[in-house]
Amino acid sequence: MKRSRTVELVGLALFVGLCLGIGALGAAVTATSVKTWYAELAKPSFNPPNAVFGPVWTALYVLMAIAAWRVWRSADRETARGPLTLFALQLALNLGWSVAFFGLQRIGPSVAVILVLELAVVATALAFRPIDRIAAWLLVPYVAWVGFATILNIAIWRLN
């Protein structure tokens, strides 16, 4: 779908704002427990230092935003509706995981949330692919990171 350059740039800014906003909400929830409850948990040897998470998630949120924007700008409203609905669902699950794990400090239930999140991210990438292959590829680092986070979450659950 052809839009003016200004509309496309405003759309990109809105997607970036949405994704970074969800990230900021998740970070705010995380901050309530990361130096107290989380610090006291037994963690596996492959647990990254806390300083890694912020930059990784920021980069992933920007990649997610660009991917969603590419789908939005490439397809008509009807074609983009389903894939962008999946995108919104995975964003909600992303925030939901932070709430379950750090906010509610419920490690077991957070495993269930992150497993559904991983499926939702894969489904989103697959839904993006027919519209814009680059958009689908932009989600691959996110799929990989959530896969790693799933393994980490399960390991922490088992250790605690």
Q: What is the mean pLDDT of the chain?
A: 96
Instruction: List, for residues 134-158, the tens digit of each pLDDT value.
Output: 999 999 999 999 999 999 999 999 9
What are the two backbone dihedrals, phi and then psi, of residue 33, each rounded to the nearest 5 degrees?
-130, -15
pLDDT higher than 90, residue 129: yes
Residue 17 belongs to domain spanning: 5-159
Q: Contact, 155 vs 40, CB < 8 A?
A: no
The pLDDT, as a whole number, for residue 4 is 87
Q: Kindly state the helix (H) or strand (E) to which residue 17 belongs, with its residue range.
A: helix 5-31
The pLDDT, as a whole number, for residue 2 is 72
Residues 6+ apart with CB under 8 A from 10: none
Number of domains the chain is built from = 1
Average pLDDT for 29-34: 94
What are the two backbone dihedrals, phi and then psi, of residue 141, each rounded to the nearest 5 degrees?
-60, -35
- State the Cα–Cα distance between residues 111 and 45, nearest whole angstrom: 19
Global pTM?
Answer: 0.94
Q: Contact, 95 vs 19, CB < 8 A?
A: no
pLDDT higher than 90, residue 3: no
Average pLDDT for 64-79: 95
**86: domain CATH number?**
1.20.1260.100
Instruction: List, for residues 35-46, the tens digit of each pLDDT value.
Output: 999 999 999 999
The pLDDT, as a whole number, for residue 1 is 61
Q: Contact, 11 vs 84, CB < 8 A?
A: no
The CB density around residue 9, as the number of other CB atoms within 10 Å, is 12
